[in-house]
A and B are shown apart, each in its own frame.
Chain A
Amino acid sequence: MEQSFYIISWTDVFVSLVLVALCLFLIKWWRIGLEKTILIGTIRSFIQLSIMGYVLTFFFGLDHWIFMVCLIIIMILIASFEANRRLDVPIKGYFMMNVFSMSITVFIVLGTILQFILDLKPWFYPYAMIPIAGMIIGNGLNSSTLTTNRFIGELAHREDEIDTLLSLGASPRAAVDTSIREAIRAALIPNINGLMLVGLVQLPGVMTGQIIAGVDPLIAVRYQIMIMYMWLTTATLANVLIQGMVYKHFFTSKMQLRKELFRVNNL
């Protein structure tokens, strides 16, 4: 079987707009009313990914580890900024907390992969390092933002419990222990479900991409397995690091719960 992968041309991409057109037609017909958003989304994804392609090509051509590290730092900064915007309640310093927790997570997870799993030459081989870093950052921040929002919900829901624990002499950390655990559990469940269901119905994105690009499915599977384990660790690490900092924001220096931060008028 000597089938090599197919190089999709720009013309082909434009033809794929037929699919969007069909979508728009259905939306219009049933008057669902999202035409404008869909158009913007279509154009934005096109532009963003195209730019990304050029940025990647540019960086890949630089061939020095320092540029790769710079790119990863830029990715962390952008993702942390985005995560900050998605909070239900503003948290002072959340951006920096994310930058901090993501730097550590990337260092540990990416470090493990580059050092012990993928034997790349050079070690910063950008075709592996950058996409994997992107996955770590994207998934990590996605998960930790969900956790933080859930944590805020838990605080609002459990403020009486927290007050009771504090009144009995518990430290703030002990008083929010249940809230933190609940929030992290909730955020990890999709990851764990992913481990359970993977391969049963849908082929995961990375594997699909590799197979389309002509990689032997047996090899694609190995990549996918590694990536799923990586996601799990990334999410756990990012959540634990972030929650270890976030809860402090909701207490005064006198160990009092700052209810005004999550009371209804603020949500």
Chain B
Amino acid sequence: MTNVAKSIGGKQILCNINLEIFPGEFFCIAGPSGSGKTSLLRLLNGLESFDIGDIYYKGQSIQNSDIQKLREEVGMVFQNPAIFAETVKENLIIRKQWDKLFFVDENDLFEILEMVELPQHLLALDARSLSGGEKQRLALARTLLNKPSVLLLDEPTANLDPRLGDQILNTINQLRHQMNVTIIMVSHHIHQASKYATKAAFLIEGTITETGPISILTNPVTEAANLFLKEED
């Protein structure tokens, strides 16, 4: 990702973003509310365009790649994921609606549910009756069924209690090893994130102020990041 900038309606939302993320990393992006974290992930998933600069995935500019394939490979889990008015199972296999060849067998489904710690008996339930945290895990499972090689997570632990949040991050981390998935996560829970992340960056007011090893999450060099951490505590 080089020199990417984006503005919407005359308002600069992201400016001069330079990031390099390598396969297999667990990259954590931290920053205050409204700093552009969600917007950044949406760019990576191809849900929005940027004005200048370019984003490369596997050495190829995402502007020239097959956008649907890109979205499958660089899967995204939203901050407030949309849950469809159907059963949990139908939510998981939603892809069937446009991909007639898509098929998941029961065992794969159970395995995915286990990964995200959702009990199997939920499958037949109306997905809208799930709790906020369960919905988030359902969305994660749904994206995972696409077998992405990059996973964009927008505050995946926001609605979860610390134990479950830990558990999910642990699962995600295992996935990273087992399936060689690269993780790009946006999080407010810096201490929790620093247990699993391998690299981190601060995004403040639409700019990356700092990139480096996870130690910067608790010990940033730049003043802006320090200020943000102080406010968080």
Residues of A within 8 A of B (CB): 158, 160-161, 163-171, 173-174, 177, 252, 254-257, 260
Contact = CB atoms under 8 A, between A and B. Distances in A.
Interface of B: 8-9, 45-49, 63, 67-69, 71-72, 75-76, 78, 80-82, 84, 94-95, 97-99, 139, 142-143, 146
B75 A161 contact: no
B146 A169 contact: yes
A256 B49 contact: yes
24 contacts: A160-B78, A160-B80, A161-B84, A163-B47, A164-B139, A165-B82, A167-B45, A167-B75, A168-B75, A168-B143, A168-B146, A169-B99, A170-B68, A170-B97, A171-B68, A171-B98, A173-B98, A174-B97, A177-B97, A254-B63, A256-B46, A256-B48, A257-B47, A260-B8
A164 B81 contact: yes
Contacts of B69: 169
Contacts of A165: 82, 94
Contacts of A177: 97
Contacts, number: 65
A170 B98 contact: yes
A169 B95 contact: yes
A163 to B, nearest CB: 6
A161 B95 CA distance: 13
B67 A168 contact: no
A165 B95 CA distance: 8
Contact of A168 (B8, B49, B142): B142
A168 B94 contact: yes
Contacts of A174: 97-98
Contacts of A255: 46, 67-68
Given A164-B78, A168-B72, A169-B72, A254 B98 contact: no
Nearest to B49: A254
Contacts of A158: 82
Nearest to A252: B49
Nearest to A173: B98
A166 B47 contact: yes
Contacts of B139: 164
Contacts of B98: 169-171, 173-174
A167 B49 contact: no
A255 B146 CA distance: 19
B82 A164 contact: yes
A260 B48 CA distance: 12
Contacts of A257: 47
